[in-house]
Chain A
Amino acid sequence: MYPEEYHYTKDHEWIKVENDEVVVGITDFAQKQLGDVVYVELPQVGAVFEFHQSLGVIESVKAVSDIYSPLSGEVIAINEELDGSPEMVNEDPHGKGWIIRLKLRDETEIEKLMSVSDYERFLEGLED
């Protein structure tokens, strides 16, 4: 279910590291909690975010949810297809439903993220 090579946060984001860049999305757990996503509000390319700053918003039919920056860095791409097809966040959360690509400011921040096994244990804890 959750890709082995990704990193994860307690805000239910996944992070795929590619050299000094990362791709960020929300996890399958997060999209299930949100329900049908109908709108994703994203920042401009070039915007800079600190760790855990709100970088955008996901709206489902029932709820509004912040997307927090899992690391510090600069936005170098956003998933523009989400504008016309926000449902991709539900249909393929770990792939085509990616949200944003960041250029990292401090690669050591990656060490603070959870591994897949940590994240799965974290989810089990939530279900109790």
Chain B
Amino acid sequence: MKTTKLYSSQKKLGAKMIEFFGWEMPVEFSGIIEEHMAVRTKAGLFDVSHMGEILISGKQALDFVQYLTPNNAARLTPDKAQYTALTTPKGTFIDDMLVYCLDEDKYLCVVNAANSDKDYEWILSHKSDFDVSVENQSDSYTQLALQGREAEAILQSLTGINLEGMKTFKTARGSVAGVGALVSRTGYTGEDGFEIYTQSENPEKIWDALLEEGKTRGLLPIGLGARDTLRLEATLMLYGNDIDETTTVLEAGLGWLVKFKKGDFLGREVLLKQKEEGLRRKIVGFEILGRGIARPHYSVFINGEKVSEVNSGSYSPYLKKSIGLTYLPIEHTEEGTELDVEIRGHLVKAKVIALPFYKRDY
């Protein structure tokens, strides 16, 4: 199994480890609920070095990224990142990802750990005439996420980068705890926060310094367990649960990142047709009204008829109820629609509620 450069630092902190797509990663430190609430109320530090990094560079790098993705990469400048996707010709997901413009002709795609090899092959297989080179740099990057309302204050004391005026999705390069890094105001929790990338051989210097600096501000190390509950409350999609090669970008409620006017890209035709004709199904959020917790793949019924399966489903530590996502036929997607979710042989009442489940108030 692969481990990140922070493996021993995390073991020392008492991390409970699990296998996650070939990686041995921390699932929890002090407990999912405590970690979850620390991020919602103070701050949390995540090692997400299992994520993949694929560099696209060369004269036609921008044209190539534009062809592969539905968002408008032409709006990227070397101080910006963008949420986007790798789409199939059917408008469905190979993956969702962040793209960072590192330089005029250099774009770094940050992709899901589970997909990084598949994505690399996909990108290579579409390279054909584009004058670009593609490099899978996943093994050289350490990625940390510092999330929560205290994140700015904690990080600011360890870097010369001016964070105060840094807007969401802006990026900057600088030194963090004496280590060269790329910092972006991004995250996967629904809170304010930063993601920190470094190719240093000593990333534990950043990890240790952040934990030390954050001590007085309630910062905790966070595992993949709370990462999942945090992102679900914030309604951020998880590849393999909520989006995959069978769901289109529009069905997933991510129409905002599809920029039809930018020109051609993989899946444009299908997505445009889908937009014009209207969706037949789309993702909705629901809450369980009865007892029990909706888990992935549980059956969803309307008026006794099975209409879908649960995509993501979990107990929500912040809202203290069971929530989930599922794709419903468009006529049943209105807020308040009554559903039944089959939990261990029993139908339990649920209803469609507004998304996102959680939105920060600062």
A126 on the B face (CB < 8 A)? no
Check B292 against A62 for contact (C-beta < 8 Å).
no
Check B33 against A61 for contact (C-beta < 8 Å).
yes
Check B32 against A35 for contact (C-beta < 8 Å).
yes
Known contacts A35-B31, A39-B315, A62-B32; decide if A57 and B344 are in contact (CB<8 Å): yes
B225 on the A face (CB < 8 A)? yes
Check A59 against B292 for contact (C-beta < 8 Å).
yes
Check A61 against B291 for contact (C-beta < 8 Å).
no
B333 on the A face (CB < 8 A)? no
Check A61 against B229 for contact (C-beta < 8 Å).
yes
Q: Give Cα A32–Cα B16 distance, bound, in whole angstroms.
A: 10
B231 to chain A minimum Cβ distance, whole angstroms, is: 13
A41 on the B face (CB < 8 A)? yes
Q: Which of A88-111 contact B (CB under 8 A)?
A: 90
Q: Which of A59-74 contact B (CB under 8 A)?
A: 59-62, 64
For A64, the closest partner residue in chain B by CB is: B295
Known contacts A62-B27, A62-B225; decide if A36 and B32 are in contact (CB<8 Å): yes
Measured between beta carbons, the chain B residues less than 8 angstroms from A62 are: 27, 32, 225
Count class of interface residues, chain B? 10 to 19
A76 on the B face (CB < 8 A)? no
A2 to chain B minimum Cβ distance, whole angstroms, is: 20
For A57, the closest partner residue in chain B by CB is: B344
B333 to chain A minimum Cβ distance, whole angstroms, is: 27
Main secondary structure of the interface of B (DSSP, over half): mixed
For A87, the closest partner residue in chain B by CB is: B33
Check B315 against A41 for contact (C-beta < 8 Å).
no
A38 on the B face (CB < 8 A)? yes
Q: Give Cα A41–Cα B322 distance, bound, in whole angstroms.
A: 15
For A62, the closest partner residue in chain B by CB is: B225
Measured between beta carbons, the chain B residues less than 8 angstroms from A32 are: 16
Check A61 against B344 for contact (C-beta < 8 Å).
no
Q: Give Cα A62–Cα B225 distance, bound, in whole angstroms.
A: 7
Measured between beta carbons, the chain B residues less than 8 angstroms from A60 are: 32
A67 to chain B minimum Cβ distance, whole angstroms, is: 13
A61 to chain B minimum Cβ distance, whole angstroms, is: 5
Q: Give Cα A35–Cα B27 distance, bound, in whole angstroms.
A: 10
B217 to chain A minimum Cβ distance, whole angstroms, is: 23
Check B31 against A36 for contact (C-beta < 8 Å).
yes
Measured between beta carbons, the chain B residues less than 8 angstroms from A35 are: 16, 27-28, 31-32, 225
B293 on the A face (CB < 8 A)? yes
Mind listing 12 A-B residue pairs with CB under 8 Å? A35-B27, A35-B31, A36-B32, A38-B33, A41-B291, A41-B292, A61-B229, A61-B314, A61-B315, A61-B317, A62-B225, A90-B31
Hey, which bits of chain B sit against chain A, CB under 8 A?
Answer: 16, 27-28, 31-34, 225, 229, 291-293, 295, 314-315, 317, 344
Hey, which bits of chain A sit against chain B, CB under 8 A?
Answer: 32, 35-36, 38-39, 41, 57, 59-62, 64, 90
